[in-house]
Amino acid sequence: QSALTQPASVSGSPGQSITISCTGTSSDVGSYNLVSWYQHHPGKAPKLMIYEGNKRPSGVSNRFSGSKSGNTASLTISGLQAEDEADYYCFSYADTSTLLFGGGTKLTVL
Amino acid sequence: QVQLVESGGGVVQPGRSLRLSCAASGLTFSSYGMHWVRQAPGKGLEWVALISYDGSKKFYADSVRGRFTISRDNSKNTLYLQMNSLRAEDTAVYYCAKDRGFGVVVAATLFDYWGQGTLVTVSS
C-alpha cells in the first residue's frame, strides 16, 4: 500500500480559504468514509482536526471542514489565521487492515 | 492529564535489535488501543502498528510485519515495540499514540493523544 497523495505545500493570506487534497484509490479513500485529518506543528504532538470525512472533534474551530469526492478527500480551512501554519496529514483505513497517512502538506500563512 | 512518554531510542547498527517503551499516565491504559507511528527525517508520518486494549489483536504495516512486534503490559501501563533486523530505512522518530477506542477494529482508528517521540537511528 502506498501513502495517500497530498500536495507538498499550499499557502494563503490571512482571512483567505485554502483546500488541501488527499488522493487515494478505490481500496482506501474511495471505499470508506473514514478519512481523518491531523494538524502537526513541528515539535508538538499531532492534533485531530477532522474525522470520518467531515466531523469535527469538540474544540476544533468550525473554520476547518472536510469533504470527499470519489478517491479524493479534501480539507478546507476558511478565514486563515497565522496559528493555522503547520503540516497537515490525511489518514485513512485501507483494505487488508492497513492504515495510511498522506505524505503531508505544509501550510504557509503569508 | 494524559501523558505518553517514549524511551529506548538510540543509534543501532543495521541488522540489530532495539526495544522501545511508552509509559502512559492519566488514563485507564487497559481500556484503549495503542499505536506506534513513525516519521523519517524530512518525511511524513507512517503508521507502524496497533495493539488492542487487551493485547489480543495486533496489526502491522507491511513495511515492518515480521520484523517488529508490538506488545503491552497493562499492569505497568506500558506499551512496547520490539524492533528486529533493523534497516537504514527504519531511521525515524517513533511516536506512541492512543486510540480513541478499544483498538479491535482497525477501520475505527483515531489518534487522540501522542507522545513526544523517540529517535531511532540505524547506521553502521
Chain A residue numbers with beta carbons less than 8 Å from the beta carbon of B111 are: 38, 46, 48
The pLDDT score that the predictor gives to residue B23 is 98
The pLDDT score that the predictor gives to residue B18 is 98
Residue in B45, B110, B114 nearest the CB of A89 = B45
**At residue A79, does pLDDT exceed 70?**
yes
Nearest CA-CA partner of B1 in B119, B117, B98, B101: B98
DSSP track, A32-43: -S--EEEEE-TT
Q: For B24-60, how does the pLDDT look when each residue is reduced to its tens digit (9 = 90+)?
A: 999 999 999 999 999 999 899 999 999 999 999 999 9
- Residue entry with cell 495510511: A100
Chain B residue numbers with beta carbons less than 8 Å from the beta carbon of A36 are: 110
Please give the Cα distance from B59 to A93 (Å, whole number).
12
What's the average model confidence in pLDDT over B95-123? 93
For residue B13, the distance in angstroms to the closest alpha carbon of chain A comes to 26
Q: For B76-85, how does the pLDDT look when each residue is reduced to its tens digit (9 = 90+)?
A: 999 999 999 9
Chain A residue numbers with beta carbons less than 8 Å from the beta carbon of B50 are: 99
Nearest CA-CA partner of A39 in A95, A84, A97: A84
Residue of A29, A89, A99 to mutate for B, most B C-beta atoms under 10 A: A99
Strand, coil or helix: A68: strand
Q: Cα separations (Å) of A48 from A1, A61, B14, B18, B124?
A: 23, 12, 34, 30, 37
Q: For A18-75, how does the pLDDT look when each residue is reduced to its tens digit (9 = 90+)?
A: 999 999 988 888 888 889 999 999 888 899 999 988 999 999 999 999 999 999 999 9
At B97, the pLDDT band (50, 70, 90 cuts) reads very high
* Phi, psi dihedral angles at B30 (to 5 degrees): -70, 0
For residue A16, the distance in angstroms to the closest alpha carbon of chain B comes to 26
The pLDDT score that the predictor gives to residue A1 is 64
Does residue A33 contact residue A68 with C-beta atoms inside 8 Å?
yes
- Contact yes or no for B44 and A34 at CB 8 A: no
Q: For A80-105, how does the pLDDT look when each residue is reduced to its tens digit (9 = 90+)?
A: 999 999 999 999 998 878 899 999 99
**At residue B7, does pLDDT exceed 80?**
yes
